[in-house]
Amino acid sequence: MTEEQVETPTEVPEENVEHSDDISSITTPCVDLSHCKLKIDHFEKMHSLGDERKISGAPNFRKVSGFPIYGTAQPTEDAYEVILEEISKNGHDDPDMIWYNMRQEPVIYINKIPYAPRYPNMMHENIEIGDPVPELDNLQRSFVIDIKNRLAESKDGSITIHRDSCYTENPMEREDVEESLKVESLKGLHNIFAELTTKHMSNQSYRVPVVEERAPAEECFDIIELLEKVPETIEGKRKIDRIIDICGPKGGGLQNLRECIIETKWKYDVAPEEKQVVWKRMILNFMERYFYLILFATYASEVGPEGFKSSFSEWMNARTHLRTMIEEGKDKLEWYRQVDPQKLNTLKELINAPNYEDNLTTLIKTIYEFAFLTYSDLPRGPIKNNSMRKLAAKTLLEILPPHVGQEIQKKLDEHLASPDFVTLIGLVSQHCKQRETEVTV
């Protein structure tokens, strides 16, 4: 691409457009992002911590209790200096700072606000790019050139950006909004870090790309099997659990990984089937990260005292049985709770009785009681209530006589109705009344 292609329109102040990139050093990017849309990195209700350490432009800024380690969502351009000032208040005057960039995708700053690329058909998901760090750094610089080209083509100094209309926890429920933004300044994240290093010589930046919610590498799931078959990981789990607690809400942090697994499973249990896919992916990703953290803690305990003479990958290569466990573990997860088989037999005896219509009230009451026992570990509230109703509906459909179940399923399909417990009770009652009428006639 020529310099003429990246010429900035006169409407944008020239001093506000970063020109420090050497175009000749930029190679063909590892991923073509030229067709991607720009989406703002910040969103409604993004800050979920208290106001004690709140920094404008740095959502969820936090400190790991007892350690000089801090975390934040992607800051605005102005917030970087504010973060340094906040850290200096803790006794670190112009501190030696290492900024870890955990993003795979490039980040661009327009009018000092961070934006990231999104595939047009995946506007609510981060772009996963598994290429090496040098390729990601090249992609970052290349993407800035792409955006400058878009800006040049606009003629009026504006660019199209996207945001969510409002925040919803499940990405599948979010709606995209397109807007035109007048560009006053434009920089890449690498430009921001370069300026920080120039102004604060003790500041350094490193890219450690990870996929959100996941570990950086291999998949692994079955933690119970890991502890049973590799006893040395028990101590690793103890240490990593302590770190998770320190980094969680009770330690002043944002998220407790173990609790996230449980809470996300609750959300999966009560979500409609078409929206469960998001929660399922999150659960597997959380499990993967937890499993991998335990392994890494075990590796660090074994190899660290001797100066880390072998890498984590080499340590894993020497333990091929872990990879077998990883490969097979994901199929062992149980996604649906079921009523205890012995209790299920009791229900089948009631439904198979000649006068099961007379036992319908008792049957419904018993099903609901069994559902309550199955979810006795959940706290009271809408999640528990919805989980119980879904299990009760599933159980009722399972134990109905085949001809009755087929008839009810047909009616559900005709009316495009979901098989919730109340609907099923109504259909079963209606079937019983029709049968009584037929017998009377």
Give the pLDDT band (50/70/90) at residue 5. Answer: very low
State the average pLDDT over residues 407-425.
Answer: 73
Residue of 209, 289, 302 whose CA lies nearest to 256: 289
Rounded CA-CA distance 89/86 in Å is: 5
Residue 422 is predicted with a pLDDT of 72
Residues 40 and 52 sit within 8 Å (Cβ to Cβ): no
State the average pLDDT over residues 105-133.
Answer: 91
Rounded CA-CA distance 255/248 in Å is: 5
Rounded CA-CA distance 213/293 in Å is: 12
Rounded CA-CA distance 117/35 in Å is: 9
**DSSP 8-state code for residue 34:** T
The string of pLDDT tens digits covering residues 32-69 is 999 999 999 988 778 878 777 789 899 989 888 878 88
Distance of CA 167 to the CA centre of its chain: 14
Tell me, what amino acid is at 173? E
Lowest mean pLDDT among 116-120, 125-129, 415-419, 424-428: 415-419
Vertex 285 angle, CA 281 and 288, to 5°: 140
Give the pLDDT band (50/70/90) at residue 216. Answer: very low
Residues 153 and 106 sit within 8 Å (Cβ to Cβ): no
Rounded CA-CA distance 292/133 in Å is: 21
Burial class (CB within 10 angstroms; exposed 0-12, middle 13-18, buried 19+) of 45: exposed
Residue 427 pLDDT > 50 = yes
Higher pLDDT, 362 or 35: 35
Residues 185 and 17 sit within 8 Å (Cβ to Cβ): yes
The string of pLDDT tens digits covering residues 220-269 is 334 555 667 667 778 888 888 888 887 777 766 677 788 888 788 877 77
Vertex 35 angle, CA 33 and 37, to 5°: 90
Give the pLDDT band (50/70/90) at residue 135. Answer: very high
The string of pLDDT tens digits covering residues 144-153 is 999 999 999 9
Can you spell out the DSSP letters for 123-192? Answer: TTSPPP--S-HHHHHHHHHHHHHHHHHHHHHHSSSEEEEEEESS--SSGGG--EEEEEEE-S-EEEHHHH
Task: Give, in order, the Cα–Cα distances in Å from 309 to each of 256, 263, 312, 323, 413.
Answer: 31, 39, 10, 22, 63
Tell me, what amino acid is at 280? K
State the average pLDDT over residues 382-390.
Answer: 79
Give the pLDDT band (50/70/90) at residue 4. Answer: very low
State the average pLDDT over residues 357-381.
Answer: 78
State the average pLDDT over residues 273-302.
Answer: 82
